Structure 1
């Protein structure tokens, strides 16, 4: 037959026709369709998607596809499957028709084939709170992300700015850690040097430590240090304070939320092996296994393992990394259960990336990128965690959910304090090393009820949620004696002795209860979200030597939020605005000479106002936002000799982000951020009006990919990253220059012996530039990484 049909879901008893809008509104599903011939891939897609896909066999003959990996709605999945094939999908009664692109009749001088086909209309559907949003056009980002207690939400329905990077982006860019993924984001910058044992970030100019990452929406469970990506399906960034949505972060981060979504088994069995190599001499391998079992494939198992070892980009340093992660899930008619467990270990030997401070206003030139001033130092991190979650549909409108998890984290070695202090213009500095041991044991839990009711023309989407996080931490460190060295000609450092076992030094308990109502008016053209969260913070500190309690903190706060989305001309354009607060633990006065010594202040409330517009063309989405964030701080009044939380830091900014397909086979990802961070109230007005350190006014990222049309399966890519000049210290007496980094890459996806095989190659810091990259703490700067070559090969068996 010249005409073939790929039809319906397996088990369908008949082929009753449906309207096109019913087909496009079908549920999103997870696919693992390998690269290869297009015709069987289309047939398989139609069966798994549960929609009819019609095509002419002559049109698809000899054409191939790069496959389909991840969770998609029918329209997005079919478009991704057809990418680079030269064919289009058109919505028809009952499903989709795959055809050659329409050609203008005039251009064909009246040819019968010169008929303009109807345009594809993709009808977006509202994502369920527990459904992973489908990938957007191009597959690099998703159509939505998790908004804390509100659950997964389409980006066009969210009154906040957020981006969710997909597993496809992780694989295509050979991203080993979360920082590698977030290198695509113009609103994110890093506050630790590349190659350091920890990865810390800023979002909108405010710090987020590695211990403030969330795992599946829950704090206290994500890996410390470097969060590996092999077991991660999505890396989501929610910008700005988020106390209502997520509660208080363990360390009080208020710049935003970075959430990791674990992988799940797809309907199609997956066995994927990856071999990788870094130019410095680091080789590794990873395995990704996924299977579903049961009559209805209701049981899923996904295992990810990774191991790499060898030299890093830092001179003489080596690193060993091992990961094992298991994800189990059950999907029943009303009940859904998941269990995620992972163990991650990092062992860094003979060196550490480092930070620097300067003795004078003169900022010296950085040494060559990759210079190791700390040979002989070492560090080890070990993370073990497990988290169980469940949802039960009480009826069609109401769902109860709960989750509980635990993390065990241990570290030892030269972890922090890896600094060159007081560098003079000739490069001389004074150094110390700090040998540390420590631990964190966390238990995190949540429970809630989510549902909807109608009051006249208004639909109320209600959420009542409770969270609890307990963290017991211990740390001890010993400093070495001072030594002198030079950043251009370093000498071996003096190493501190092992301090021994770490005693308990703090107990922290964070509990909260929140209520939110999203009211939908006029067929979802207007969405108004109102909410409140009551947060309680209990913390005790203990002397590391005697074990005596040194502080006892028990405070609470209520944080409101309001968000508005207005779609005046349909679902493709959203105007949004929000007011939301963030929480961080209030200070305790530790100055023994102060009149209010040991006074404990309530949690600090960081307040954000934001407005913006989101424009979705169907293939390309632009988001433009303006915001103001104010954060209080502790200051001392010299007259009364008292401290108060009356200091203030204010960030005002404009952000533009873009993602999607600029043209067929051409994808873009990035944007521009302008942030003006000012100290508006300081002690005795000494620094009023100064810029906040570590916050460049301008930052930009722009990445592009191009599927070469004359070589099916071959893609070339590039990315430029710009960070403007920034002050190093609060006094604004030291400043580092702006910098630009260029990365390039290529990948080739084909079939070898019937197996999907992908080859990846990339070069980061193409020009091998050396520069001070950013700031860490008041007065310290970070160093960039040298040029790095990445190679990997992935095979599906």
Structure 2
């Protein structure tokens, strides 16, 4: 009995060992044949095109979903993907190209192993574009997807995720303690923007505060002026065209709201409403040959060119050339326009060294240039807006030329430390005959004086700095150190060509532009300014970078010398040499996935005024004005749409003249709430814009009658909201619309004269297709659809007419 039991026990054990041996032998044989078999299956899968609709999520989640849908074997090192996000994948792709689109912007790339599986590794170079679209789909759709990933744009392709936060470097919009929006080249092209002002109309907190065909183009952000000369190029001031900024050469237009002296240094005009930065286009890995034709009514025709190539080992050298030319009659009576812009962008990207060089040449000539109205002392009520096609003052011309050259370089000392430097120059010239009309009464009577104005502004800009990362225990640090210097010299020739010319806005009298023959136009010195600053900031990270605290300060020195140009450029006795320190404190708390709570305290700086010689304290130079901002908000990335809700308070001192004495006694205080939105609600439906409520008040004035009044040009409500819809039944078609609303604004500090609210509607459409294998995009936009006549104003009290209904047509082709 026992023997039988033992036999029954031993027999199964013997069989288990035999089975294990057989399984081991079978496994070894299978492993020997697996690479070839799996590689054959994988090769077939890699060439098969599949459709994907994977929602944005963490990179790990998106990759796992992709591996399940494709059936591939994907080896993932969790250390490489930790903390990284992906925008998902939408469209039709082959396996490897689709995988690399998912990885775009992560610094990783996928490689195929011998056994046919896939492995992630750090990208040796930016992922090359691939042609993975199927024949039944327009090729341009897939190309757009690749461009999105390379430029790290958000869903909808209208706004970029990352932008330059001044000295802090490139940051994701969720990681900076400020309200920022980074508009892409896609929105510039789709809205057929002709200048930066056309793009900024998408932002509810930004308004253009000068006539569209005026000599210069200024803006208001959060109720404070930002002059055209204060637009930065890659964070450097004094280099973009002085009077009007072109957009054909822009990859991104970055808007940061509120004072930003620590981040960017003091702008030449001392503006504090916000900072606007242009990031120029660079050549991508895929060759680009894009040509276009444009039309704007009445009869302005033009053409564009955008060429990009990369050369050398690993495509290290890049060349990007952009050109634009427009000429013809505008929608304004008797007005003719001629514009030219050419830009050349060179770059080198090595393993550690990156060098860029930019050259910009812009010229603009306007015959019968439109000027802005000044509010006359006798004006008690604004007249109704006249026909928007009429020309004011009805004579004159302007010609502007800008040439800029910029050289920048960056070098990675280690993976955690880098240094950078930049130098640039700009020469701006203006030759104009113009005169600002004085609005005299509610009947529409005005007067103006034709004046010959010739300006020349020469600028030099320098920057240098470093950024490095390290840790102290569980606290991470990203320290930024920087220095900037801007030198600017202005020369002028100005003389009146006649006395007052009287006219009426409802029945203007057009006159010939007065002759300037016999005038030598020799310019004399008007002023010089030198801005030198040094800054340091540290972003401390806690709790695996869920809590970010930024602390820093900038020491800014302002040297200014004015000259009496009427006396032949004689140096004034007053010389300005002052300095100040502006701090910043910001915090970002990533409380939940895709949610950032943020707050900041930051100061802006403006050069103090010098009392005029005719005043009792003539020649007195005042210290730089400090503008203080407190702001808090919440940012939410919903996956394919993002929102920012902000509350802010900005306090800026102002200078007033009382009893023949200049003093700094008043203050403008703007408090507000902003809501910004961008992205896709659902696939094919996009939103861009938002709304802003601002309560502006004049406080602390010696003239108590002004206290409590609303500042000039600060509306209570502003709304800019645009939408796009891609009808499912018509592949390649996109329909667009936009509404821009601005509530009532005062044009005088006493709040006696105001202009009514403004509502403007725009519509558009674009169609993407292929003609004989050539991707073509046709666009049509109508601005001011209902041709409404309306006034607008600036923070300085200038008033001007809105543009008439304008039709824009264009067609671009990629060869």
Q: TM-score normalised to the size of structure 1?
A: 0.86
| Among 527, 534, 537, the residue aligned to 1:506 | 527
Say what the alpha-carbon RMSD is for the aligned residues: 2.8
| Among 463, 476, 480, the residue aligned to 1:463 | 480
Structure 1 CA distance for aligned equivalents of residues 346 and 83 of structure 2: 28
Give matches, 1:268-347, under 5 Å.
268-347=286-365
The answer as to whether partners of 2:211 and 2:372 remain within 8 angstroms in 1 is yes
Counterpart position of 2:262: 244
Counterpart position of 2:586: 563
Structure 1 CA distance for aligned equivalents of residues 77 and 137 of structure 2: 29
Counterpart position of 1:615: 636
**Cα distance change of structure 1 residues 454 and 606 upon mapping to structure 2, 3 Å threshold:** same
Counterpart position of 2:448: 431
Is the aligned partner of 1:749 residue 2:768? Answer: yes
Counterpart position of 1:582: 604
| Among 535, 539, 557, the residue aligned to 1:536 | 557
Structure 2 CA distance for aligned equivalents of residues 423 and 564 of structure 1: 51
SS at match of 2:708: coil
Give matches, 1:180-579, under 5 Å.
180-357=198-375, 359-414=378-433, 417=435, 419-479=436-496, 480-493=498-511, 495=513, 498=516, 500-544=521-565, 545-550=567-572, 551-570=574-593, 572-579=594-601
SS at match of 1:575: strand
The answer as to whether partners of 2:220 and 2:794 remain within 8 angstroms in 1 is no
Counterpart position of 2:65: none
Give matches, 1:631-646, under 5 Å.
631-636=652-657, 638=659, 642-646=661-665
Structure 2 CA distance for aligned equivalents of residues 312 and 42 of structure 1: 50
CA shift, 1:62, in A, is: 3.7
Q: 1:237-281, CA deviations, whole angstroms, 9 ceiling, x for partnerless residues?
A: 000000100110101010000111100000000000010000210
**Cα distance change of structure 1 residues 527 and 315 upon mapping to structure 2, 3 Å threshold:** same
Structure 2 CA distance for aligned equivalents of residues 539 and 172 of structure 1: 42
How many residues of Structure 1 are paired with residues of Structure 2 in the alignment?
Answer: 721
> Which shifted more, 183-192 or 423-432?
423-432
Structure 1: gaps of 5 or more residues: 8-13, 30-34, 78-131
> Which shifted more, 395-404 or 487-496?
487-496
Counterpart position of 2:46: 5
Counterpart position of 1:101: none
Q: 1:617-653, CA deviations, whole angstroms, 9 ceiling, x for partnerless residues?
A: 1111110000000001123564xx7543221110000
CA shift, 1:426, in A, is: 2.0
| Among 790, 803, 807, the residue aligned to 1:771 | 790
Q: TM-score normalised to the size of structure 2?
A: 0.84
| Among 713, 716, 734, the residue aligned to 1:697 | 716
> Which shifted more, 436-445 or 14-23?
14-23
Structure 2 CA distance for aligned equivalents of residues 786 and 637 of structure 1: 41
**Cα distance change of structure 1 residues 750 and 26 upon mapping to structure 2, 3 Å threshold:** farther
CA shift, 1:552, in A, is: 1.0
SS at match of 2:189: helix
> Which shifted more, 537-546 or 666-675?
537-546
Structure 1 CA distance for aligned equivalents of residues 600 and 247 of structure 2: 31
**Cα distance change of structure 1 residues 562 and 156 upon mapping to structure 2, 3 Å threshold:** same
The answer as to whether partners of 2:373 and 2:439 remain within 8 angstroms in 1 is no
Structure 2 CA distance for aligned equivalents of residues 64 and 182 of structure 1: 31
**Cα distance change of structure 1 residues 344 and 636 upon mapping to structure 2, 3 Å threshold:** closer
The answer as to whether partners of 2:161 and 2:173 remain within 8 angstroms in 1 is yes
The answer as to whether partners of 1:147 and 1:153 remain within 8 angstroms in 2 is yes
Q: Which has the higher helix share?
A: 2
SS at match of 2:229: helix
| Higher Rg | 2
The answer as to whether partners of 1:177 and 1:227 remain within 8 angstroms in 2 is yes
